[in-house]
Each structure stands twice: as structure tokens, then as C-alpha cells.
Amino acid sequence: MLMPNVAVPKANALADQVRTFLTKADIAVRTFHYDFENPGIVPDLQGIDLLIVIGGDGSLLRAGHFCAPLGIPLLGIRSGRLGFLVELNESELEQNLGRLIKADYRLERRLMLETELFSTNKLKCSWDVINEAVVCRGSDVHPIEVRIDLNEGYLNSYIADGVIVSTATGSTGYALAAGGPILPPELRNMLILPIAPHLSLDRAVVLAEGAKVNLYPAIKHDVVISIDGMDPVLLNDGDRVHIQANEHSLYMVRFGEPNYFYRNLAAVMQRNPILKTDKHD
């Protein structure tokens, strides 16, 4: 299935190009035009072997939420800004589609998180997380208080703008902007990072895959939770956010060498002029 971002004209044009190429190779193709303004409309992925997303990292994240629970691999084609997640660009599109048809690729398995919101000890909401879960201040410009417990016991309490619990995939997203370390995508670790901490430990904490995290926000004014940059949910006094490794993983199609991540990192972070533009730029 093709999933272009309907708001990006170039994405729709690339979808036509991909559909034509695959159809000529006798591969059945369906198209779902994803509309960020109507996120409740989701694709029917029954019988799908691969989801090809055309857009930027935001489009790929939304698609990952659709396909990961079903174990469907994901391939990203860039039509937006430079990013860490999308695999292909326009210049080498047909070359790598040929490799795709020949099964000349590898699947990269990425850790996801399961986040649950409990209100008075009753499950209120649950989410699959690709990048991060963020508990942070809402409309009031005041720091919040968050206590964090692990399955081994108390870890720390923060006074901060918020707390990020991230995957390795998310370490190049919001966590990076907040000053966190960059984790290679193959690592199956969780990252806990405060946002603008005040008189609190300002170091990130890296946890093993088997860790279980509970966040207890003190509700003195608006506090929200947001998953992968989606619309925030208001938290109430006594709420608890539980986070652990997800039973599902995100499978991403990759054509490049295993160390592609570091070349991409150099190009994105340093803007090094001696690095030539390639599929990962």
C-alpha cells in the first residue's frame, strides 16, 4: 500500500510514480491518501505486505502506528524536510524499488513502548509509542513536579517543564532538542530525560528494555501527556502513567549499509559540506 501525505503535492506525484513502477512489475498496489487534518480516518491494511509512506518523518510516525501492531514492514520515501527515519529520496527511487522487488533489502527492528494512563487505578487510555511519551506542562507557564518510580523502586523527582520517556528512535527527536544523548536505532533501551529541569538532576537516564516506569505528576495546574507529538491529553490529580517495552516492534525496510545511521547523523547534525548527498541525506 502507498500512503502519501495528501497535503504535500510532491508526495502525491511520487505516489503516482511508485504505483506505475510497481504495477508494471505485476505488483498489486493500493493507495491511501493520509490527511493529517483527519487523523481518525485510517487505512485498511488487511492483506498488505508492505506500507510505503511518502512524506517526512511525521508521516512515517503516523504510518508506524498503523502497521507495527500488524507486523507490516514500513518503507519511507522523502518528500518533506531532511529527517532521520525516511529511507529513500527521489533521485534513486526506481533503482531501490527494483531492489525491493528482488527482496534485496534488510529489515531493521526497532523497539516500541507501551504507555498506559491510569486514573484512580483504572486504565483510562493506552498507546503504542514509536518516538516518545511526554508528560509536561499545559497552558500554564509553570514547571511541574513529576516523581518517577522504576520496578526496582524510586528513581527521582523532577521540577521541570516536563519529562520525556523515549525510545532509541525518539532520541533524535524531541529528546535530542532537549539535550539528550543520541542512541543508535538498534538499541532496545528507554531514555528518561527532564525538560528544562529546575534544581533537579539534569542528566538523562538510560534503561534496559525490561524496565518498567511509573510517572506520578503532581497536578497543581494544567499537566498533559502527548504521544509521538500527537494531540495532548489532560491529566488529573492522582493519575499514573505506566511505560514499558511494547510487545510489538516497528520493522523498517533499509537498503543501505548497517552503519548508515552514523553517516546520516553526520550529515544532519554537522551539515558537513564534504558529505555528498545520498539516500540518507
One-character DSSP codes across 20-47: HHHHHTT----B--B-TT-TT-----TT
Residues of each domain in the chain carrying CATH 3.40.50.10330: 2-105+255-270
CATH topology of domain 2-105+255-270: Rossmann fold (3.40.50)
Q: What pLDDT shows up at residue 89?
A: 84
CA–CA separation, 209 and 154 (whole Å): 18
What's the chain's average pLDDT? 89
Lowest mean pLDDT among 11-25, 73-87, 114-128, 213-227: 73-87
pLDDT over 50 (residue 72):
yes
**Domain 112-247 CATH superfamily:** Probable inorganic polyphosphate/atp-NAD kinase; domain 2 (2.60.200.30)
152: pLDDT confidence band, cut at 50, 70 and 90? confident
- Among the ranges 83-87, 120-124, 264-268, 274-278, which has the highest mean pLDDT value? 120-124
pLDDT value, residue 273: 43
Average the pLDDT over 215-234 and give the result: 94
Q: How many CA atoms lie within 13 A of 200 on its CB side?
A: 22
Determine which one of 57, 128, 161, 239 is catalytic.
57
Q: What pLDDT score does 261 carry?
A: 73
137 falls in which pLDDT band (50, 70, 90)?
A: very high
- 3-state secondary structure string, 140-197? CCCCEEEEEEECCEEEEEEEECEEEEECCHHHHCHHHHCCCCCCCCCCCCEEEEEECC
- Grid coordinates 504510518 are at which residue? 63
Residue 217, SS3? Answer: strand
What is the average pLDDT across 44-58?
93
Residue 266: enclosing H or E segment and its boundaries?
A: helix 260-270
Render pLDDT for 162-201 as a digit per residue (tens, 0 to 9).
999 999 999 989 999 999 999 988 899 999 999 999 887 7
Integer Cα distance of 20 and 15 in angstroms? 9
Query: In the prediction, which pLDDT does 263 show?
Result: 67
- Catalytic annotation on 57? yes
49-53, 109-113, 138-142, 168-172: the lowest-pLDDT one: 138-142
Residues of the chain with CATH 2.60.200.30: 112-247
Whether the pLDDT of residue 275 is over 80: the answer is no
Q: What cell does 179 get?
A: 539535550
Q: Does 86 or 118 have the greater pLDDT score?
A: 118
Model pTM score? 0.89
| Pairing between β-strand 132-137 and β-strand 74-78 as defined by DSSP bridges | unpaired
Considering only CA atoms, which of 255, 145, 132 is closest in space to residue 200?
A: 145
CB-based contact 225:133 (threshold 8 Å): yes
